[in-house]
Amino acid sequence: MNDDLIKRSDALKVAYRYCPDDDGSCSCADRDLREMLNDMEDIPSADRPQGEWIRIEWNEHIEGRIVPMRTYKCSTCGEKEVASTRFCPNCGAMMKGADDE
């Protein structure tokens, strides 16, 4: 099993082929769950935006001391985060330059 991203709408199209009733019930009991899973594995990966973390550093004056501060800004959506991660939690972009600190 791999961790490719797929579009929710594509996955739902496959699932609805196995449970096509408008009321949400499944009258197609002859369809095998393994067959549905195989069909879902054939869904192509969705394109994921690419971005990188931009490190922002500054000094804060806290209780008479200068404290170095750091945050990260997503180059794709501009949202700021306190830690760099593999994916932006706001827009889902796969990030380059995530710190391993």
Over residues 2-44, the pLDDT tens digits come to 566 777 777 778 777 777 666 656 655 556 677 777 777 777 6
Weakest mean pLDDT among 55-64, 67-76, 84-93: 84-93
Which amino acid, one-letter code, is at 3?
D
Q: Are 89 and 81 in contact (CB under 8 A)?
A: yes
Inter-residue contact 81 to 93 (CB < 8 Å): no
Domain ranges of the chain: 8-41, 50-96
User: Are the C-beta atoms of 101 and 57 separated by less than 8 Å?
Assistant: no
Q: Say whether pLDDT at 1 is over 60.
A: no
Q: Which residues of 13-41 are buried (b: 16+ CB within 10 A; e: fewer)?
A: ebeeebeeeeeeeeeeeeeeeeeeeeeee
